[in-house]
Amino acid sequence: MKLRYLPLLALAVASCSHADKPAATAAPDARFDAFKNQFIEALWRQNPDFASSQGYHKYDSLLVIPDAAQRQRDAAFMQQYLAALGKFSLDSLSPNNQIDLRLLRNELRAERWYADTLQNWQWNPAGYNLGATVGDLLNGRYFPLDRRLRNISDKISHASEFYTAARANLSNPTREHTQLAIKQNTGGLAVFGSALADSVQKSGLSAAEKKTLTDRIATTRQAVQGYLDFLQKQVLPAGKFRSFRIGKDLFDQKFAYDIQSHFTAAEIYQQALKHKAELLHDMGHRAARLYPKYFPGQKAPADTLALITAVVNQLTLKHAPREGFVDAVKRQIPTLVAFVNEHKLLTQDPSKPLVVRETPLYMRGSGAGASVSAPGPYDKGANTYYNVEPIPAEWTPAQAESYLREYNDYTLQILNIHEAIPGHYTQLVYANRSPSLVKSIFGNGAMVEGWAVYAERMMLENGYGNNSDEMWLLWDKWNMRVTLNTIIDRAIQVNNMSENDVVTMLRRDGFQEEAEARGKWLRATLSQVQLSSYFSGYTEIYALREELKKKKGKDFNLKAFHEEFLSYGSAPVKYIRELMLRK
C-alpha cells in the first residue's frame, strides 16, 4: 500500500492522539478500550477494502497491491498487535471486554494462519476482483458522486500493478476457483462499462479530471481483460490444478478459527448425523397425515422416503412464475414485519428499511441465490440490500422449474425469514447498535447464520404458517438442508466424497431438486467450513434458549431473550452464553 493521500494526515492525527492516551495506571478496561480504538484505526490503514466494506471510508482511494512485500507488512502488523494483546490479563477486564480480547486474539491468529498455512492467496484467483471493490464504492451513498469518482480514480490508477501481483501470486490454483474468477471478473468488467462512463460525464469533475479518470478506466479494463486472458488462455489450458479439497488437518483448524464453537468439527459432524435421523422421523409422520388430503382415495406408498417424496413433490408445485421470482420476494417482506410486531417477538427499527434488489452482476455465480448486504457499523444510515438472483436467462425451462420448485411458496417464506425478517437483516440492524465495535467488525459467521436458522424455527413455533403440517414439513426439508450442508462439507473436504455421491445423498435424504443439489456441490467446492456454520450456530443458540427457559421458569420472556441475545453483536454464541448466564 502506498500512503499517498489521506493516510499521511491520519497518521499525524493518530500520533497526536497518543499524547492523551490514558496513563499506564488507568483502569485495565480504559486501557483496553484505548488499545482497541488504536488497533482498529491501524487495521483500516492496513486494509482499506475491509474498512470500506465496514462503512469506514477514509481510505476509499487506496488500493493495496497484494504482493510479497505487502504480505510481510501484514505479518509484522499481526505480530505486533498479538504481542500488545498479550500484555492484557483477561481476568482484569469486564466481561464484554473479555469477549473482545478473545475475538481479537482469534482474529489475529486466524489472519496469520490464512496467510501462512492455508495460503489461499496462492490458489484462489477469485480473490482478485477490482470490479467488485469499485462496484461497491460506486453504489455506496456515503459520499456524493464526485467524491466517489475521485476516490475510484485514485484507486484504479494502480490497477495494472494489482493484477500483475495477482498473477505472480497464483501457483497451481484450483480449477473451481479459476472458473469462479473468470465468471466474477467478467461481471467486474461490466462495472467499468458504459454506466460508469455516463456517471463520469454527468459528474461535476473538471474536464482534466474526467480525462484522467476515463483513461484510467480504459487501463483498468485492459488489466482486468489481461487477467481474464491469463486465466482463460494460460491457466485453464495448462491444466496444472491442485485439488479444492483441503483435507482433515486444515479443515479442523479452519473450523476452530472460523466457527469458534466449543465443539470440534468432528463433534458437530456427529450431531448433524443424529439430527438428520430426527428430521426424517418427523417428516415421515407429517407426510403420512398429509397424504390423504393431497391424494384422496389413493393408497399411500409403504416406503417412508417415497411417501415423503410424493407429498413434498405435490406441495412444491405451488411456486412463483419464472419472471416473477424477485417480485414474489418483495411482496412478502411487509407480512413478516407485521407478524414479528403482532407476536411481540422483538422490537424492529422502522427507520432502517430493507431494499430488495436483483443481485449485482459482479456478485453472481457463487451459488447463493439470495444474500444480504448490510452497512457496517460506521454508516448505519446506508441502505441494507436484500440481493435476490433472478433466474438466469440462459437456463432451460426445466432448470428454471427445478429451481422454482425448490423455492416454492412455502419455502420462499422460510428463505425470507432467514435472509430478511427476523433473520440476517434484523440481526445486522441490532449488531450495528452494539456498543462493541470489535464485535460488529469481527462478526462470528456461525452466530450470524445460526441466528437466521434459529429465526425460521422460532417463527413457526410462534404460529407463522398456522402450525400447518405443510409448512412444518417444508421446514423439516429446509432444516435438513443446513444439516446436510454440515455433513457434506466435511464429507467432501475431508473424506473425498464424490460429486455423484453428494448429489445422490442430497436428492434422496434431502429431497432436493437436481439444480439445487448441483448448485450445492459447486458451493461446497468453493468454500470450506462455511457450510457448517449454519447448523453449528443454530444448535448452540437453540440450546441456550432452552437452558435459560429452564433456569428462569415463568420469568422467561421470549422478546427479552431475543433482544438481549442480539444486543451483544455478532459474537460467538459460547461467549454470549457466558454473559447471559452471568446476569
CA pair distance 286, 54, nearest whole angstrom: 44
Cβ atoms within 10 Å, residue 423: 26
> How are strands ordered across the β-sheet holding 370-373?
354-358, 384-388, 370-373
How many residues bind Zn ion (CB under 5 A)? The answer is 2
CA pair distance 240, 245, nearest whole angstrom: 15
- For 19, half-sphere exposure in the C-beta direction (CA atoms, 13 angstrom radius) is 4
Burial 158-180 (b: 16+ CB within 10 A, else e): bbeebbbbbeebbeebbbbbbbb
Smallest distance from the beta carbon of 308 to Zn ion, in angstroms?
Answer: 20
Question: Are 290 and 472 in contact, with CB atoms under 8 Å apart?
Answer: no
Q: Return the residues of window 365-394 that contact Zn ion according to CB under 5 A.
A: none
Q: Which stretch binds Zn ion (CB under 5 A): 58-66, 292-300, 356-364, 452-460?
A: 452-460
Smallest distance from the beta carbon of 442 to Zn ion, in angstroms?
Answer: 18
Smallest distance from the beta carbon of 391 to Zn ion, in angstroms?
Answer: 12
**Based on the number of CB atoms within 10 Å of its own CB, is 281 exposed (0-12), middle (13-18) or buried (19 or more)?**
exposed
Q: Which residue has the cell 444510515?
A: 381
Smallest distance from the beta carbon of 457 to Zn ion, in angstroms?
Answer: 14
Smallest distance from the beta carbon of 325 to Zn ion, in angstroms?
Answer: 12
How far does CA 295 lie from the centroid of its chain? Answer: 41
* Closer residue to Zn ion in complex, CB, 134/414: 414
* Closer residue to Zn ion in complex, CB, 108/453: 453
Smallest distance from the beta carbon of 189 to Zn ion, in angstroms?
Answer: 29
* Closer residue to Zn ion in complex, CB, 217/458: 458
Smallest distance from the beta carbon of 76 to Zn ion, in angstroms?
Answer: 35
* Closer residue to Zn ion in complex, CB, 188/423: 423
Quick one: DSSP state of residue 280? H
* Closer residue to Zn ion in complex, CB, 412/452: 452
**Contact code string over 49-78 relative to Zn ion, x by CB under 5 A:** ------------------------------
Q: Return the residues of window 248-267 that contact Zn ion according to CB under 5 A.
A: none
Q: Return the residues of window 500-519 that contact Zn ion according to CB under 5 A.
A: none
Q: Return the residues of window 412-451 that contact Zn ion according to CB under 5 A.
A: 449
Among 43, 205, 452, 502, binds Zn ion (CB under 5 A): 452
* Closer residue to Zn ion in complex, CB, 74/389: 389
- For 69, half-sphere exposure in the C-beta direction (CA atoms, 13 angstrom radius) is 6
Question: Are 130 and 184 in contact, with CB atoms under 8 Å apart?
Answer: no
CA pair distance 381, 556, nearest whole angstrom: 34
Start-to-end CA distance of the chain, whole Å, equals 46
Name the residue with the smallest CB distance to Zn ion: 452
Q: Helix H segments across 295-369?
A: 304-315, 325-342
* Closer residue to Zn ion in complex, CB, 166/414: 414
Smallest distance from the beta carbon of 552 to Zn ion, in angstroms?
Answer: 29
- For 221, half-sphere exposure in the C-beta direction (CA atoms, 13 angstrom radius) is 13
* Closer residue to Zn ion in complex, CB, 452/548: 452
* Closer residue to Zn ion in complex, CB, 449/516: 449
Smallest distance from the beta carbon of 127 to Zn ion, in angstroms?
Answer: 22
CA pair distance 486, 112, nearest whole angstrom: 26
- The residue ranges that bind Zn ion (CB under 5 A) are 449, 452
